[in-house]
Homo-oligomer: A and B are copies of this chain.
Amino acid sequence: AEGGSSTQVAAQPAGSEATYETLLVTTEDNITTIKLNRPTKKNAITTEMYNDIVAALEQAAKDDSVLTVFTGAGDFYCSGNDLSNFTKIPEGGVELMAKQAGDLLRNYVNAYIDFPKPLVAVVNGPAVGIAVTALGLFDLVYATEKATFHTPFSQLGQSPEACSSYTFPKIMGVAKASEMLLFNKKLTATQACELGLVTEVFPESSFQMEVWSRLKAYAKLPPNSLALSKQLIRSTEKDRLHAVNDAEVERLVERWTSDECFNAIMSFFQAKSKL
């Protein structure tokens, strides 16, 4: 944590912000911001984007910034996993596709578990699926009042990921977590805040202004103190989080090759095509 207080991401040419196709990564005022930039698809995450986000997190871990912020371009925060990821079946068949998707997911979640600096979600709109479950691995979650939080796993024949099978019951208790993770309940921002998933909710009109002025003040605090305190908080459960990630991925790989999941996803696409 030496050097200037405002730098570009090291590996990129100065002034450039366009290394990733659907990701904007910038560093300013000691804050590195990773912005999903696929607004026409509600910032759904493609296979390429998973890898790009991992690369951006690894870069942010090493750069001079004090805080790392994750947010979305446009009206959506992120609609989760792009289900079209499941329509490109490789030569090895569904089993190979499931294995590859599992490896991708495990790697993606590990990047959050191991992230060494305070990680902040600026939830600018609706969040779905893995964009919600990963919030349990963030240190601060600020949401606009128009954000919603939806994890429709069982509807799609799937199961929870991003350590949410562990973090959600820990944050809100099983009786509340099950409604989200098993029974597809969609939360408002206020509900998510009352349950402890969200740190604070802001009016849409002042959301960006209030959040960023606060984050800029936070980014002036002693950086080692912040990073080491965050690591201390996570260190007591880091091994547990990795084990949970492994178990969740193993379960999902099985799900992705099951008839139950296949039929549920087919129904989703059929319903969508009828609109």
Instruction: Choose the segment among A8-16, A103-111, A230-238 that binds chain B (4+ C-beta atoms closer than 8 Å).
Output: A230-238
Contact B233 A178 (CB under 8 A): yes
A117-152 contacts to B (CB < 8 Å): 118, 135-136, 138-141
Q: Does A97 contact B (CB under 8 A)?
A: no
Q: Does A196 contact B (CB under 8 A)?
A: yes
A204-262 contacts to B (CB < 8 Å): 218, 221-226, 228-230, 232-233, 235-236, 240, 243-244, 247-248, 251, 254-255, 258, 260-261
Contact B228 A182 (CB under 8 A): no
Contact A178 B236 (CB under 8 A): no
The interface on chain A, measured as residues whose beta carbon lies within 8 A of the other chain's beta carbons, has a size of: 63
With a CB–CB cut-off of 8 A, which chain B residues contact A195? 196
Given A182-B118, A183-B221, A236-B166, are A229 and B154 also a contact pair (CB < 8 Å)? yes
Identical copies in the complex: 3
Contact A228 B244 (CB under 8 A): no
**Residues on A facing B (Cβ under 8 Å):** 118, 135-136, 138-141, 153-155, 157-160, 165-166, 169-179, 181-184, 195-200, 218, 221-226, 228-230, 232-233, 235-236, 240, 243-244, 247-248, 251, 254-255, 258, 260-261, 264
> Can you report 16 residue pairs joining A to B where beta carbons are below 8 Å apart?
A136-B174, A139-B174, A140-B183, A154-B221, A155-B221, A159-B225, A160-B229, A171-B173, A171-B175, A172-B173, A175-B196, A175-B198, A178-B230, A222-B261, A225-B260, A225-B264
